[in-house]
Amino acid sequence: MFPYLALAAILFSIGIYGVMTRRNVIGILMSLELMFNAVNINLVTFNKFIIADGLSGQLFAVFVIVVAAAEAVVGLAIVLLIYRNWRGIKSDYVNVMKW
Amino acid sequence: MMESQPSIAFWLLAIVILTSGFMVVSLRNIFHCALNLIMCLFSVAGIFILLGAEFLAAAQVLIYVGAVAILMIFAIMLTSEISNRRIVQTTENKSVALFISVIFALSSVFLIMGTKIWRMSDQALPENNTLTIGKYLMTEYMLPFEVVSVLLLAAMIGAIVLARKEAS
């Protein structure tokens, strides 16, 4: 079980690195997808090795996938809006709410 | 402690996942990042199959590779600034981010390694993965299922409203 959890942890921190360093909004969204996948690997691993009598981990992973899809749809619509307003998709353009 | 030794397939998939994941966050061309993301998602589906979650692997390929990644590529194509050498793709706090993520990875890996008391169960997963998930979705997890469909509907309407041209 340990290698699966370690793989998920390393993938999650790669996602953290991407979210913190990317300047392109689509890059940030892709790093978010990496983090969702790490979480899903964790859920399925625990489902196999810890509570093998049910499938609650896998069901939760299904819901995570659905919510991630919804997030990607709304996020990419916002990306198109940003592009329409600023002619570019860098995240530093969107500083209207920055104090 | 029950420790099932992962097969050679796991190590191959792990190497592919980690290298392509690193490519996703480090390459300069955002389109290449999207292609690497597809590779990474495919390999995660392989990990799901190794863990006995066949339905989840199929859903991963259908939804992530088939929908989300293609949507990302559409968004990249619809916007500009894809592959110009002059574009700086990263912010200036690169070293801080590297420090934080390496610390996070090391500490969580050491935490996982240090934990000796897992309540392992020896039972096998239910046979007929897809059948069982379908039964659960229609009985025990009925309410979350409905809520998540309302969420999808809301996301669809929201995306249409956001991306629509203003009829000024």
The structural domains of chain B, with segments of one domain joined by +, span 4-89, 125-168
Q: Assign B159 to helix, strand or coil.
A: helix
pLDDT at position A36 is 94
Q: Which residue has the tokens 């020896």?
A: B122
Dihedral over alpha carbons A37, A42, A46, A47 (to 10 degrees): -10
| ipTM for this prediction | 0.89
* CATH 1.20.120.1200 matches B4-89: yes
Question: Which residues in chain B are closer than 8 Å to A13, comparing Cβ atoms?
Answer: 101-102, 104-105, 108
User: What element of type H or E holds B167?
Assistant: none
* Partner B contacted by A95 (CB < 8 A): no
Which residue in A59, A71, A74 is closest to B136 by CB distance?
A59
Written as six digits, the tokens of B131 are 């059948």
Q: Confidence class of residue A12 from pLDDT cuts 50, 70 and 90?
A: very high
Q: How confident is the model at residue B2 (pLDDT cuts 50, 70, 90)?
A: very low
| pLDDT value, residue A71 | 92
Phi, psi of A90 (to 5 degrees): -80, 150
Closest chain B residue by Cα to residue A39: B44
Contact B101 A80 (CB under 8 A): no
User: If you count residue pairs, one on A and one on B, with CB atoms under 8 Å apart, how many are there?
Assistant: 247
Burial class (CB in 10 A: 0-12, 13-18, 19+), A34: buried
Report the distance separating Cα A38 and Cα B132, nearest Å. 24
Digit-coded pLDDT (tens) for A29-54: 999 999 999 999 999 998 888 876 67
Retrieve residue A34's tokens. Answer: 């990496």
- Residues of A in Cβ contact (< 8 Å) with B51: 4, 44-45, 47-48
Residue A6 forms contact with B (CB below 8 Å):
yes
On the question of pLDDT at B23 being above 50, the answer is yes
**B83 in the Ramachandran plot: left (φ > 0), alpha (ψ -120 to 50) or beta?**
beta
The residue-averaged pLDDT of B80-104 equals 75
- Alpha-helix residue ranges (DSSP H) falling in chain B: 8-26, 30-50, 54-59, 69-78, 94-114, 129-138, 142-163
pTM to 2 decimal places: 0.88
Tell whether A89 is within 8 A of chain B (Cβ): yes
Residue A39 backbone phi and psi in degrees, to 5: -60, -40
